[in-house]
């Protein structure tokens, strides 16, 4: 993927050959820990910061750079930096941008390990954290008074609640608050938060960005200034760097990202229709296009609130194509008891528990045939209600 004509559609530039040596269409895999120098003068120049050639893979690697360049362009950001995991991206971002005494306003029902990072690491370090309904950031801007950083996840990945990013960014700018969003659910195919004024976008690239359930990785996209801060501080010092082979797999995954997201949307649209008409279903949580400004599509991750008629363990056990498992965003369909996984991160009176329905089940719709998947759901519902 080369930096070329800005006007090209995402599908087109993601499909361009990388332009590697010998006409290779994929980027070379630099599976090396270090890069050597031919002479003392060039080494000295590199150490003095007069050149930016690769030195050591903990901080810089051309295969990783190929992924970072593509992600920056996809999100419409100036720069990007890859990490070993989504949590590596989240913790490295927060530690680079916060200091003891700062205040964070975070969305309720945030990714469970992000919640644990806030409560078990950042709070003891001296950062104050308050949790708010995702809609409150746009509707009640006073909550940003005295806040350093607003941490968003929209849609969030268990309750599927949304935040109006444009309105939130506008309020945040007025209050001098930095905004960070976990955009893993929508991907840049369906939502580009930087264009709505959000400061920092991050992803668990383990999900849709990879798309093949074979990689754990993360990435942060932002301004040159913020990415330089991460590269100068938490990337080298925490060392949660993205490995070259994982980056190579991610570049491979990105080639099909728009096509996969369209297919997930096609299946999800049919599921929302059919699930909503079932008497065993109290509510389907699946934000669609324009359910909030700037969201242009529906991903394959949705949650379903079942009525008392459904025995949830029996439902899960009866499914054949939906495997029981955490994570999501791959080719394979998954089911998980969302109420259990969300609540395990915090004590009973915590923000993780507030308003979470007991009978919430999350589905990650994969790339299987939609009719095969639907027959599986119907059969499992019959078994679980008998």
Ligand X SMILES: *Cc1c(COP(=O)(O)O)cnc(C)c1O
Q: Interface residues with ligand X (CB under 6 A)?
A: 85-87, 111, 153, 157, 182, 184, 204, 206-207, 216, 218
For ligand X, give the closer residue by CB, 81 or 281.
81
Q: Which is nearer to ligand X, 153 or 161 (CB)?
A: 153
The first and second tokens of residue 354, run together, are 């507030």
Smallest gap from Cβ 338 to ligand X, in A, equals 12
Beta bridge partners of 218: 83, 204
Neighbours of 337 (CB within 10 A): 18
Nearest approach in angstroms of CB 153 to ligand X is 6
Cα four-point dihedral sign 226, 231, 232, 238: positive
Question: In the complex with ligand X, which residue's Cβ is closer, 111 or 271?
Answer: 111
The least distance separating ligand X from the CB of residue 371, rounded to whole angstroms, comes to 28
Least distance in angstroms from the C-beta of 216 to ligand X: 5
Residue among 86 and 244 whose Cβ is closer to ligand X: 86
The residue nearest ligand X at its CB is 86
Shortest spacing between CB 317 and ligand X, in angstroms: 24
Taking alpha carbons only, the member of 383, 369, 351, 370 closest to residue 109 is 351
Least distance CB 331 / ligand X (angstroms): 16
Of 281 and 360, which CB lies nearer to ligand X in the complex structure? 360
Which helix (H) or strand (E) segment is 372 a member of?
Answer: helix 370-385
> From residue 302, how far is each of 159, 267, 294 by CA, in Å?
8, 11, 19
Q: State the angle between helix axes of 257-276 and 370-385 in degrees (0 to 180), rounded to the nearest 10.
A: 40
Contact by Cβ (8 Å): 114, 122? no
Nearer CB in complex with ligand X: 137/185: 185
Smallest gap from Cβ 334 to ligand X, in A, equals: 12
- Given the complex with ligand X, which of 37 and 331 has the nearer CB atom? 331
Sheet containing strand 281-285, edge to edge, reads 281-285, 301-306, 360-364, 334-336, 323-324
The conformation of residue 54, written as its DSSP 8-state character, comes to -
Centroid of chain to Cα 152 = 11
Question: Strand order in 149-153's β-sheet?
Answer: 79-83, 218-222, 200-204, 178-182, 149-153, 103-107, 128-132
């Amino acid at each position: 993927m080369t930096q070329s004509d800005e006007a090209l559609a995402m599908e087109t530039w993601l499909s361009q050959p990388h332009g590697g040596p010998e006409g290779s269409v994929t980027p070379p895999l630099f599976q090396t820990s270090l890069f050597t120098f031919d002479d003392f003068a060039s080494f000295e120049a590199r150490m003095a910061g007069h050149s930016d050639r690769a030195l050591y893979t903990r901080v810089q690697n051309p295969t990783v750079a190929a992924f970072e360049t593509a992600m920056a362009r996809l999100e419409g950001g100036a720069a990007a930096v890859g990490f070993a995991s989504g949590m590596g991206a989240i913790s490295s971002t927060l530690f680079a941008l916060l200091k003891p005494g700062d205040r964070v306003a975070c969305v309720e029902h945030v990714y469970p390990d992000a919640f644990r990072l806030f409560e078990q690491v950042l709070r003891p370090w001296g950062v104050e954290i308050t949790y708010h309904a995702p809609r409150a950031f746009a509707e009640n801007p006073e909550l940003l008074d005295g806040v350093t950083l607003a941490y968003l996840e929209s849609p969030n990945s268990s309750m599927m609640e949304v935040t109006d990013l444009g309105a939130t960014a506008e309020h945040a700018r007025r209050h001098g608050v930095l905004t960070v969003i976990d955009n893993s659910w929508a991907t840049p195919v369906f939502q580009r938060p930087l264009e709505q004024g959000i400061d920092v976008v991050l992803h668990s690239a383990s999900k849709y960005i990879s798309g093949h359930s074979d990689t754990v990785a993360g990435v942060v996209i932002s301004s040159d200034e913020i990415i330089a801060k991460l590269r100068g501080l938490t990337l080298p010092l925490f060392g949660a760097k993205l490995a070259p082979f994982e980056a190579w797999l991610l570049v491979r995954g990105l080639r099909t990202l728009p096509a996969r997201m369209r297919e997930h949307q096609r299946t999800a649209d049919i599921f929302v229709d059919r699930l909503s008409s079932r008497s065993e279903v109290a509510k389907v949580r699946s934000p669609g296009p324009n359910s909030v400004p700037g969201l242009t599509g529906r991903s394959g991750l949705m949650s379903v609130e079942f009525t008392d008629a459904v025995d949830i363990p029996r439902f899960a056990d009866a499914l054949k194509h939906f495997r029981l498992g955490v994570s999501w965003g791959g080719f394979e369909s998954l089911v998980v008891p969302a109420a259990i996984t969300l609540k395990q991160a915090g004590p009973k009176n915590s923000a993780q528990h507030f308003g979470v329905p007991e009978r919430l089940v999350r589905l990650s719709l994969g790339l299987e045939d939609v009719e095969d998947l639907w027959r599986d759901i119907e059969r499992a519902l019959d078994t679980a209600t008998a």
